[in-house]
Amino acid sequence: MKEQFLLTPGPSPVPEDVRLVLGKSMIHHRTDEFQAVLKDVHQGLKYVYKTENPVLVFASSGTGAMEAGIANFFSPQDTVIVIEAGKFGERWVEIAQAYQLKVVTIKVEWGQPFNKEALKKALKENPAAKGVFATLCETSTATVYNIEEIAGVVKENADCILVVDAISGLGQDILKTDAWGVDVVISGSQKGLMLPPGLSFISVSPKAMLLLSTAKLPRYYFDIKKAHAAYAKDDTPYTPAVSLVRGLQVSLEMIKQQTIEKRWELYGKMAQALREAFKAIGLESFSKSPSRSVTALQCNFDSGLLLKKLRKEKSLSIAEGQGHLKGKIFRVAHMGCISEQDIVKGLSLIEAGLREVGYKDFKVGESLKRFQEVFHG
């Protein structure tokens, strides 16, 4: 059976050096050996997050840490503002509603950039708002949002925190947690951090920490006060996902060696070259503010059919459109350990798939050539 080749926005491929660690014999988590691993992981996460705030590790997928980002800081009937620009913005709304918060939603047209004036207006109209929720890279539309600008607006409100979902963006899209003043940043293991799914992360600023003792929403497994007390001793309140944490030690070290700045640059260049490559064969980017982590292409054929062909016949996984974009876009991810040559391989398979679904009006190899030109230009 052919190995699956993943250009999906999570899970992303896991490098061999990480996979070898995942299969090692089990160690106990209450030992000096594991404490040293967790210490490295805590330092490494702070490095990737660009923060001096604690970054806590949960055994859960990213959605679990999103829930932590709500349950720990608010009380029932608190007002929060959600910038909703896609499927993952919708998730913020759903979680906040599940926790009986009053949700003010700023709807942004999918794929369009966000105008900070809308946030200023919403904060003016809702002076009691206790939190603003945003997304770094909205995976469903492959759009990056200007978190620096959003943070600048939120910062002017002493009693309001900014919570950002950076699950798919972290590692490729630029994120400067402390320099921008982002209070809470959520992420997960299976995207830029090059691990299987199963770990989630949350950074907490001093301003957000102050809310832990007044917030009345119930929480236990995702309790940040308890997780933070354990963090201070490089420990966790409940049994950690030992094998994944050991893998994370390795992948964080890889990122450190490469440096996060070089990664931002590399994936920025890769994303731009990929957009130009698709343009050369007549496919336009869906997003007007495209991410460095994933690229969405508009198409006039059924993207679902393309995906199925690529997956079944060529062992390549890319992603469908979600919600009302189902069938209308397809998405190609470039995160984690995806290299220039992985994209070349992907384009070769995608060109073949396009022909098979009847999209034929382009010269063979044109997208690969253009990708190389722009990438090395």
Contact footprint for a second copy (CB under 8 A): 3-4, 6, 8, 10-14, 19-29, 31, 33, 58-64, 66-67, 71, 94-95, 98-100, 188, 190, 196-198, 217-223, 238-244, 311, 317
Distance CA 222, CA 241 (A): 14
What are 185's strand-pairing partners? Answer: 164, 203
- Residue 81 φ then ψ, to 5°: -115, 130
- Residue 199 φ then ψ, to 5°: -125, 145
Structure tokens at 273: 């070259």
> Which CB atom, from 6 or from 270, has the smaller least distance to a second copy?
6
Q: Report CA-CA distances (Å) from 144 to 23, 268, 348.
A: 35, 12, 27
Min dist. Cβ of residue 77 to a second copy (A): 12
Instruction: Measure CA of the first residue to CA of the last residue in the chain; give whole Å.
Output: 38
> Which CB atom, from 190 or from 249, has the smaller least distance to a second copy?
190
> Which CB atom, from 11 or from 111, has the smaller least distance to a second copy?
11
Min dist. Cβ of residue 71 to a second copy (A): 8
Q: Which of 170, 179, 332, 137 is nearest to 251 (CA)?
A: 170
Min dist. Cβ of residue 33 to a second copy (A): 7
> Which CB atom, from 100 or from 115, has the smaller least distance to a second copy?
100
Min dist. Cβ of residue 68 to a second copy (A): 9
> Which CB atom, from 75 or from 289, has the smaller least distance to a second copy?
75
Min dist. Cβ of residue 319 to a second copy (A): 9
Give SS3 for 51: coil
> Which CB atom, from 93 or from 162, has the smaller least distance to a second copy?
93
> Which CB atom, from 272 or from 303, has the smaller least distance to a second copy?
303
Min dist. Cβ of residue 10 to a second copy (A): 7
Min dist. Cβ of residue 158 to a second copy (A): 27
Q: Report CA-CA distances (Å) from 365 to 9, 46, 148, 317, 362.
A: 24, 42, 39, 20, 9
Structure tokens at 376: 């090395």
Distance CA 172, CA 68 (A): 24
> Which CB atom, from 219 or from 269, has the smaller least distance to a second copy?
219
Give SS3 for 184: strand
Q: Which of 154, 132, 135 is nearest to 145 (CA)?
A: 135
The number of helix segments (H) and strand segments (E) in the chain equals: 14, 14
